[in-house]
Amino acid sequence: MPYIYENSSNPMDFFRRYPYKVKVINLQLDMQTQIEYFNLLSEIFQGHNSEALASVSREKAFDPSVPLDYRKRMLAWLSSSEEVDVLRELERYEKDCPEDVKGFVSMCVYQCRTNIESSLLGEHHAVVASGMGGEDDKIRYFAALATLSGKAWSNTEQHLLREELMLASKAQNAVVELLEFSGKYAKILLLAPITLSPVVVIRSAKDASNELGVFISPQEVVTNIARLSDEELDKILKSGGE
């Protein structure tokens, strides 16, 4: 199985060079865990310690007496397998593993399952990681808009944004999973195709709404790392960030 790891902010460029079928990891895990996993997997595919890991009993990966760093290397090595029995072992371990490796083990299970699916189907998958997960070929984003006045959204404003957001997302093959209003903020969960910037959908809805009366602030927050609280949004917008 070919393996390429890139930490890229330009997915369009990646898929031009590696035109594989896309699978977005549907796990909502912190990016630090995901990056740690992929770094270890990359080392293994480059041959670092792969022979040494292969010579060790795989039960060591599940042994709490073994140092955590070594267990993670063993787990990452197991996740590169295309064997069903290895997948079942990882799945069993995922159910009752210690909390300090829970997210890491979930990544291993996902990768091993993807390997087997790719092998059975005879096709390669480009696996895309995101802090908020995703579905199929779409990544999940959190976005927030604020009223220009700083006051809570009126019923009319809420209705207008909801309608324009649905139209904008449908036009771009995106899906609005959630739209909720909290004080001056409209908070959105959006599933957008990997090749689409979610900002296109958010700004389209905002601009269309403002054509009927300017009531939405030009500032916006869009991220695929985590959902943000009102306090966190206040801090970001006060700093002038988008």
What is residue 241's predicted lDDT score, i.e. its pLDDT?
54
Of 55 and 234, the structure prediction assigns the larger pLDDT to: 234
Query: How many CB atoms lie under 10 A from the CB of residue 165?
Result: 25
- 196's tokens: 């689409």
The Cα-based distances of 93 to 58, 64, 102, 106, 167 in angstroms read 12, 12, 9, 10, 44
pLDDT tier at 156, thresholds 50, 70, 90: very high
Of 108-117, 125-134, 150-159, 225-234, the range with the lowest mean pLDDT is 125-134
Per residue in 79-118, pLDDT tens? 888 889 999 999 999 999 988 889 999 999 988 988 888 8
pLDDT tier at 2, thresholds 50, 70, 90: very low
Sole residue written with tokens 């009126």: 154
Mean pLDDT over 219-234 rounds to: 91
- Structural domains of the chain ordered from first start: 11-128 (no CATH), 138-238 (3.30.70.1290)
pLDDT tier at 4, thresholds 50, 70, 90: very low
Query: How many CB atoms lie under 10 A from the CB of residue 138?
Result: 23
Per residue in 33-82, pLDDT tens? 888 888 888 887 776 555 656 666 788 889 989 999 989 999 998 988 88
The Cα-based distances of 232 to 41, 145, 237, 242 in angstroms read 33, 13, 9, 12
What is residue 173's predicted lDDT score, i.e. its pLDDT?
95
Mean pLDDT over 125-153 rounds to: 87
The radius of gyration of the chain's CA atoms, rounded to the nearest angstrom, is 21
Helix (H, G, I), strand (E, B) or coil at 127: strand
Burial of 2 (0-12, 13-18, 19+ CB in 10 A): exposed
31 secondary structure, DSSP code = H
Per residue in 128-140, pLDDT tens? 777 788 887 888 9
What are the strands, taking DSSP E only, across the chain?
21-24, 125-128, 134-135, 138-147, 175-182, 185-193, 216-223
Looking at the predicted structure, is the pLDDT value of residue 24 above 90?
Answer: no
Looking at the predicted structure, is the pLDDT value of residue 146 above 50?
Answer: yes
Q: Which amino acid is at 97?
A: C
- 104's tokens: 């890491």
What is residue 183's predicted lDDT score, i.e. its pLDDT?
94
pLDDT tier at 203, thresholds 50, 70, 90: very high
